[in-house]
Amino acid sequence: MLLIPAIDLKDGRCVRLRQGDMDDATVFSEDPAAMARQWLERGARRLHLVDLNGAVAGKPKNEAAIRSILKAVGGAIPVQLGGGIRDLDTIERYLDAGLAYVIIGTAAVKNPGFLHDACGAFPGSVIVGLDARDGKVATDGWSKLTGHDVLDLAKKFEDYGVDSVIYTDIGRDGMLNGINIEATVRLAQGLTVPVIASGGAGSLDDIRALCEIEGEGVSGVILGRALYEGRLDFQQAQALADELGQPEV
């Protein structure tokens, strides 16, 4: 089970939001590159970046901070990024800068043809991010709820050739009240590509619960507020996941 620290970027700073609310942001660091180095030193095997301003604006807004993080990491571990990625030129620019994966969320739902083209142009480098409330997909920084069922959309995008699916339960994100295990398992069981859980992990019990469903196709979890508020020690949590997880092949 891969534990992936999140670095959410707003106005060039590392923040965390509650339930995606841009007006409810807590600043955790003024130096995102230093934060990235910190996670690297603590043994992180992948980093998850979000351009929050970009997600709202529909175009990159924290590119300078993202490039500084990529430079700080220096290719030692894969870095994935979501938020404001709406065209192939942006994807190419980020991958050329050292990004391993782009995460396409809103654009995938609104413009499936773009996701299809991206998977064709950059095979193995495209992750789809599906954010949902009560099983229905939300877009535009979670501000708009669609009528799309998560599993139906995920199956469609799997056929396009996405590397994996990040599934976020909006109602739990930043609230530290546990991952929606039931919904995450249901999605993973319906797909052949891996599912990365997101939203609500706040304790070692959550890590244990996720490790129990690793065999269903849940390959990792994105961790945010719990790490930054000290409720979860990353090294301890990853050690537990390694102990309980399936042997890597």
Instruction: Report the Cα–Cα distance between both ends of the chain, in Å, rounded.
Output: 13
User: CA 80 to CA 28: how far, in whole Å?
Assistant: 20
Q: Answer whether 20's CB lies under 8 Å from 142's CB.
A: yes
Structure tokens at 245: 């997880």
Integer angstrom CA distances of residue 51 from 37, 223, 241: 18, 16, 28
Structure tokens at 115: 């996701």
DSSP 190-248: T-SS-EEEES---SHHHHHHHHHTGGGTEEEEEE-HHHHTTSS-HHHHHHHHHHHSPPP
Radius of gyration of the chain (CA): 16
Is position 21 annotated as part of the catalytic site? Answer: no
Q: What is the DSSP letter of 167?
A: E
Is position 131 annotated as part of the catalytic site? Answer: yes
Let me know if 27 is exposed, middle or buried by CB neighbors in 10 A (0-12, 13-18, 19+): exposed
Identified catalytic residue from 51, 131, 163, 173? 131
Integer angstrom CA distances of residue 229 from 116, 216, 245: 38, 30, 25
Q: Which positions are catalytic?
A: 8, 131
